[in-house]
Amino acid sequence: MTLLRDQDLAVAFDHAARSYDALVAVNPGYHSHLRRSVRRLGLRGDGRGLRVLDLGCGTGASTAALHTALPEAAITAVDASAGMLERAAAKPWPGHVTFVHAPAEELARAGVRGPFDAVFAAYLFRNLADPGPVLDAVHQLLAPQGRFGVHEYTLSGRARDRAVWNLVCRGLVQPLAGALGDGELYRHLWRSVVDFDTADRFAARLRTAGFETVRVLPLPGWQTGITHTFVARRAGGAR
């Protein structure tokens, strides 16, 4: 199948927004894994005085994970799907959480300006036609020694992990999504993982983009070898 890209993908997410939270709730550990990935950024305290960018926030699950760990941080949450963003913004948030409708490739045009102390991106990069320019933009938006965290489906390269991913998608996720009228999107999401970088390859992308101290950390449960946290820093003077 041909992967959905750009506006076609945003429209598909718009349609799926109404049931997205219910579908991800079926995934054991979905929210706790996001919180674990946020903690792996290593940001201390309650976040007071910090600026954090949530890139590809969807319906706000990653935003909630950031807010739980850093309740006083100023969080800017961005997504390309108006429908997903509407769902996110409708949830109760404090005044220092703001939402911006923009593709990840057009942050500057949308008025998203750095420097940020941290950037977090969950389930974003495999959906981009070209991750390279967005990684470059993130690097520029970060303050020196700023933290970058990516929470993403990136297969280990082992045949077993690919088989588990295929089984879960074809046996559970796609039938549920198809019943809700979102089969095309979830077929795309299945294929986007199969076609995307392995974990090692994505880590190499981060290093090529200029990030330092890149670490690849597995997540527990059925997603071990399927979902990883990537943690890195922008180079610069000590802060």
Question: Quick one: pLDDT at residue 239?
Answer: 39
Rounding to the nearest 10 degrees, give the CA dihedral for residues 17, 21, 24, 26: -130
Measured CA to CA, the distance from residue 120 to residue 62 in angstroms comes to 8
* Residue ranges for the chain with pLDDT beneath 70: 1, 237-239
Give the list of residues 6+ apart from residue 43 with CB closer than 8 angstroms, or none.
Answer: 50, 69, 70, 73, 117, 118, 147
Measured CA to CA, the distance from residue 83 to residue 81 in angstroms comes to 5
In this structure, are residues 62 and 33 in contact, taking their beta carbons and an 8 Å threshold?
Answer: no
Measured CA to CA, the distance from residue 114 to residue 141 in angstroms comes to 5
Measured CA to CA, the distance from residue 153 to residue 127 in angstroms comes to 11
* Residues in a beta bridge with 212: 233
Measured CA to CA, the distance from residue 73 to residue 50 in angstroms comes to 5
pLDDT tens string 213-230: 999 999 999 999 999 999
Which residue type sits at 196?
Answer: F
Question: Quick one: pLDDT at residue 84?
Answer: 98
CA distances from 24 to 32, 48, 177, 181, 239 (A): 12, 30, 11, 16, 37
Measured CA to CA, the distance from residue 164 to residue 162 in angstroms comes to 5
CA distances from 220 to 167, 168, 202, 204 (A): 18, 16, 19, 23
φ/ψ of residue 159, rounded to 5: -60, -35
What is the CB neighbour count within 10 angstroms for residue 145? 15
Location of structure tokens 């983009």: 209
Question: Quick one: pLDDT at residue 2?
Answer: 79
pLDDT tens string 85-114: 999 999 999 999 999 999 999 999 999 999
Complete domains list, the chain, with CATH: 28-157+196-234 (3.40.50.150)
